[in-house]
């Protein structure tokens, strides 16, 4: 292939086609296997990744994109940013310390164990990284030679790779440095990076990929200076080592002028998220090698190859280019060929990491040898595009007519909150400080066993239904017994809060092996929204109505909200996200109305992913928040004043979105507050949030049973800031990951705490 056109991969999935890494990690953590076994599995996965990429025509193969847990954590270990509490005293970082940073340590010696690093979302993806923690006197040194070792490991196997490093500026900006600007640590950090680059160069590396995805964010001059300093230092230290600077997930925006001026040999452009950067092919400095991210690394749709060629061919000219996915393929499943159960029509529209490499190879061949050489591949791509856009499975005129007829009145409750509140008070007759939970009860091994037996056909529908009915009945009886004012049915029938609904909606497809890393050894299989979404039949009415029939207390119906349904799926790329969300909202609206008709006086519509939908740049926030609020309203406004709408969000920062939370106008919102000791309420207090709030008083992330007094104190804090009638008493989140042995005493204590509050009023 002509050397002007190469095929690059910015990174591949680490988990293995059959989730081999998860199995190896969990067995190691459980003490069933030793470090050697884990290390061998990891090396095997790396070798397989390199082989797979080469066999698919990738010519620029990455190394050091692998991680046992997380690449940001790897970077912290590489530079020796290991907080004191992990007891590291220099030298090699053992696996035990590495995993303690990732997962915490429950040592006997230290009361309460050692807390893991915090975890948070990687930009706007569903991948979570371990947040670097910097001490005020943080120093850095080269502690792990992983990048060099993996480069050499590949070399021995016959692969000349381009090592990937998380860039120093993004690394610092992602970290937490109590009370100071993390960028002030750059001078101390750069020498470590320089040493890594020197060693890579000495080992024979010709290129290194430095990821600075912070370039997709709004950056100030200090960050620009930091990028200049860093790249200048690299150029000085390892002049022979070429740097491919990679940013993704959005355009450079206001960072563009700075970027184009940096002393690097190559620049990666995410042309999927930022097609407006295409003119850079003409405008970027001539000698710069451009990596063109033309295949979506974040989504699973087949690329329209002819369209890509039409767009690129007039622009590339004599420039050296690499054809690449828009970002690391970490975010997509590995191989579509493993999917044997997908509807063949839908499967024909998809490409996972392996198929994406094929697409890139096709593009490169078309450039090097002409389109005729790849005529078959182009014809297949054209055919897939045509059938997808024309398919009756994708286009449902009834759905389109319905979304087109949505008006503002459908997106808000007819009466103001004050009126609804009185109507609901009268109907529900709840005491002050009413108690409830967030929805799920423990998913015990019996529940999971029954579900998997039923899925495999080993348990009949009748037996499974009887089992679920029994679980619900026991949960309802127990809630009555301990005095929960607004019980829930417990969600025993649900495998997952998105999948359960997606499986019952038209327009959704599910994979068998389409796992994507969420964090560490936790992988998810996001549903695929391929077509117009509608609800062929009620989804939750049967179990909610059954639960309500067992008690006179008001049962709370339980749904996953439209934004969360969207956010945790692979979403079609031929419609605006807002429009897809509207379709889901309408389907949920029907469900809400049906639940009301079935006698449910309260319905909770969970939106835990509401905040994470926020775009990377502030300028884009308002547009998102507008349609997100509108869709929540659309889903929940079809009911009478007497029906109480709840929502739930399991986090934290509300300050910058509190007006939108207000505009959602749920009658009750439950939020996570117990870990922050009610500080999170501040946003609601200063906004004078007018509706009811359930600030979580029980931290469900810990097996600990909170004593009554502790919950009373939290509620007292809340009562200093809110009116007593506004306050609900509930845990932070659903209880599905806890055991009944923890949940029973904790909820007993919670009810006792509510009673004490009532007695004191």
Sequence ranges of the binding site for L-methionine: 438-440, 491, 606
Q: Is 566 in the site for ligand GLN (CB under 6 A)?
A: no
Pick between residue 6 and residue 567 the one whose CB is nearest to ligand GLN: 567
Binding partner of 153, given Zn ion, ligand GLN, none, CB within 5-8 angstroms per partner class: none
Annotated binding residues for L-homocysteine, written as ranges, equal 438-440, 491, 606
Give the one residue of 7, 185, 244, 733 binding ligand GLN; rule: CB under 6 A: 733
| Window 375 to 434, contacts with ligand GLN (CB under 6 A) | none
Least gap, CB of 76 to ligand GLN (angstroms): 28
- The token pair at 614 is 């926020």
Pick between residue 132 and residue 561 the one whose CB is nearest to Zn ion: 561
- The token pair at 115 is 């807390």
Q: What residue number has its CB nearest to ligand GLN?
A: 734
- Is-contact 752 482, C-beta < 8 A? no
Binding partner of 558, given Zn ion, ligand GLN, none, CB within 5-8 angstroms per partner class: ligand GLN
Give the one residue of 147, 251, 434, 439 binding ligand GLN; rule: CB under 6 A: 439
C-alpha dist (Å) from residue 412 to 108, 209, 707, 726: 53, 49, 40, 21
Binding partner of 757, given ligand GLN, Zn ion, none, CB within 5-8 angstroms per partner class: none
Binding partner of 439, given Zn ion, ligand GLN, none, CB within 5-8 angstroms per partner class: ligand GLN
Pick between residue 440 and residue 674 the one whose CB is nearest to ligand GLN: 440
Q: Is 438 in the site for ligand GLN (CB under 6 A)?
A: yes
Residue 733: name the closest of 438, 461, 441 by CA.
Answer: 438
- The token pair at 409 is 């009145």
Least gap, CB of 553 to Zn ion (angstroms): 22
510 Cα distance to chain centroid: 17
Q: Which residues bind Zn ion (CB under 5 A)?
A: 608, 650, 733
Pick between residue 528 and residue 733 the one whose CB is nearest to Zn ion: 733
- The token pair at 467 is 């089992």
Least gap, CB of 567 to ligand GLN (angstroms): 12
Pick between residue 192 and residue 498 the one whose CB is nearest to ligand GLN: 498
| Window 447 to 506, contacts with ligand GLN (CB under 6 A) | 491, 497
Map residue 745 onto helix, strand or coil. helix
For residue 759, give the DSSP letter. Answer: H
Least gap, CB of 557 to ligand GLN (angstroms): 11
d(CA 173, CA 653): 18
Candidate ranges 109-117, 147-155, 528-536, 731-739; the one touching ligand GLN (CB under 6 A): 731-739
For residue 324, give the DSSP letter. Answer: E
Binding partner of 62, given Zn ion, ligand GLN, none, CB within 5-8 angstroms per partner class: none
- Torsion sign over Cα 349, 353, 354, 360: positive
692 Cα distance to chain centroid: 28
Q: Is 606 in the site for ligand GLN (CB under 6 A)?
A: yes
d(CA 635, CA 615): 22
Pick between residue 213 and residue 608 the one whose CB is nearest to Zn ion: 608
- The token pair at 433 is 């400080």
Annotated binding residues, written as ranges, equal 19-22, 121, 126, 438-440, 491, 568, 606, 612, 648, 650, 672, 733
Measured in degrees and rounded to the nearest 5, phi and psi for residue 744 equal -60, -55
Binding partner of 270, given Zn ion, ligand GLN, none, CB within 5-8 angstroms per partner class: none
| Window 178 to 237, contacts with ligand GLN (CB under 6 A) | none
- Is-contact 247 213, C-beta < 8 A? yes
Least gap, CB of 573 to ligand GLN (angstroms): 26
Q: Is 646 in the site for ligand GLN (CB under 6 A)?
A: no
Annotated binding residues for Zn(2+), written as ranges, equal 648, 650, 672, 733
- The token pair at 440 is 């799920």
**Which residues lie below 8 Å from residue 49, measured CB to CB, with a gap of 6+?**
12, 14, 66
339: left (phi over 0), alpha (psi -120 to 50) or beta: beta
- Torsion sign over Cα 290, 291, 292, 293: negative
Q: Which residues of 725-745 are buried (b: 16+ CB within 10 A; e: fewer)?
A: ebbbbbbbbbbbebeeebbee
Catalytic residues: 701
Residue numbers at the binding site for ligand GLN (CB under 6 A): 438-440, 491, 497, 558, 606, 608, 648, 650, 733-734, 736
């Amino acid at each position: 292939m002509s050397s002007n056109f190469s095929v690059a991969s910015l990174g591949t999935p680490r988990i293995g086609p059959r989730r081999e890494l998860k199995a190896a990690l969990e067995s190691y953590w459980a003490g069933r296997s030793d470090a050697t076994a884990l290390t061998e599995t990891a090396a095997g996965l790396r070798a397989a990744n390199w082989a797979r990429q080469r066999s698919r025509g990738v010519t620029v193969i990455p190394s050091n994109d692998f991680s046992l847990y997380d690449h940001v954590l790897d970077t912290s270990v590489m530079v020796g940013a290991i907080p004191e509490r992990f007891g590291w005293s220099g030298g090699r970082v053992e696996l035990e310390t590495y995993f303690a940073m990732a997962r915490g340590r429950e040592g006997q010696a230290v009361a309460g164990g050692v807390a893991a690093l915090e975890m948070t979302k990687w930009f706007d993806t569903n991948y979570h990284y371990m947040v670097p923690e910097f001490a005020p006197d943080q120093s850095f040194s080269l502690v792990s030679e992983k990048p060099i070792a993996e480069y050499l490991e590949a070399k021995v196997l016959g692969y000349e790779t381009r090592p990937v490093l998380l860039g120093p500026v993004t690394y610092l900006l992602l970290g937490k440095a109590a009370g100071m600007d993390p960028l002030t640590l750059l001078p101390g950090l750069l020498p470590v990076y320089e040493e890594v680059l020197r060693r890579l160069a000495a080992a024979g590396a010709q290129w290194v990929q430095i990821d600075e995805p912070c370039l997709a964010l709004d950056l100030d001059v200090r960050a620009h200076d930091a990028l200049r300093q860093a790249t200048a230092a690299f150029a000085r230290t390892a002049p022979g080592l070429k740097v491919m600077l990679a940013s993704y997930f959005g355009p450079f925006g206001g960072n563009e002028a700075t970027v184009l001026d940096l002393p690097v040999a190559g620049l990666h452009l995410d042309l999927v998220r930022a097609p407006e950067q295409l003119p850079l092919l003409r405008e970027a400095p001539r000698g710069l090698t451009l990596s063109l991210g033309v295949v979506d690394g974040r989504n699973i749709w087949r690329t329209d190859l002819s369209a890509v060629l039409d767009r690129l061919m007039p622009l590339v000219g004599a420039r050296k280019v690499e054809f690449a996915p828009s970002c690391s393929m970490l975010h997509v499943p590995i191989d579509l060929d493993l999917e044997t159960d997908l509807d063949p029509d839908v499967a024909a529209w998809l490409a996972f990491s392996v198929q994406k490499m094929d697409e890139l190879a096709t593009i490169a061949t078309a450039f090097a040898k002409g389109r005729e050489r790849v005529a078959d591949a182009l014809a297949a791509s054209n055919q897939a595009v045509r059938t997808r856009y024309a398919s009756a499975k994708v286009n449902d005129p009834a759905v389109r007519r319905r979304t087109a007829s949505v008006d503002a009145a459908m997106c808000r409750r007819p009466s103001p909150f004050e009126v609804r509140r009185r109507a609901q008070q009268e109907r529900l007759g709840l005491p002050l400080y009413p108690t409830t939970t967030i929805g799920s009860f423990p998913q015990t091994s019996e529940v999971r066993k029954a579900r998997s037996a039923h899925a495999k056909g080993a348990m009949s529908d009748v037996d499974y239904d009887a089992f679920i009915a029994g679980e619900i009945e026991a949960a309802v009886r127990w809630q009555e017994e301990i005095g929960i004012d607004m019980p829930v049915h417990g969600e025993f029938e649900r495998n997952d809060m998105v999948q359960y609904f997606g499986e019952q909606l038209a327009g959704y497809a599910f994979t068998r092996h389409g796992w994507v890393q969420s964090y560490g050894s936790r992988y998810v299989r996001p549903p695929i929204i391929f077509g117009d979404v509608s609800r062929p039949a009620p989804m939750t009415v049967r179990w909610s109505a059954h639960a309500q029939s067992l008690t006179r207390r008001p049962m709370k119906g339980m749904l996953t909200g439209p934004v969360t349904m969207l956010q945790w799926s692979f979403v079609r790329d031929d419609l605006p996200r807002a429009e897809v969300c509207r379709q889901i909202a309408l389907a949920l609206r029907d469900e809400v109305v049906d639940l009301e008709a079935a006698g449910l006086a309260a319905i909770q519509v969970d939106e835990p992913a509401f905040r994470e939908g926020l775009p990377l740049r502030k300028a884009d926030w308002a547009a998102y928040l507008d349609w997100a609020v509108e869709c929540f309203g659309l889903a929940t406004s079809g009911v009478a004043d007497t029906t109480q709408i709840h929502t739930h969000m399991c986090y934290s920062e509300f300050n910058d979105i509190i007006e939108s939370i207000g505009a959602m106008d749920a009658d009750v919102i439950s939020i996570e507050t117990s870990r922050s000791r009610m500080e999170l309420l501040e946003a609601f207090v200063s906004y004078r949030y007018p509706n009811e709030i359930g600030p979580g008083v029980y931290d469900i992330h810990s097996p600990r049973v909170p004593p009554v007094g502790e919950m009373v104190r939290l509620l007292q804090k809340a009562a200093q800031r809110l009116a007593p009638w506004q306050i609900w008493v509930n845990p932070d989140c659903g209880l599905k990951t806890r055991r009944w042995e923890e949940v029973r005493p904790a909820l007993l204590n919670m009810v006792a705490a509510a009673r004490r509050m009532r007695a004191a009023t």
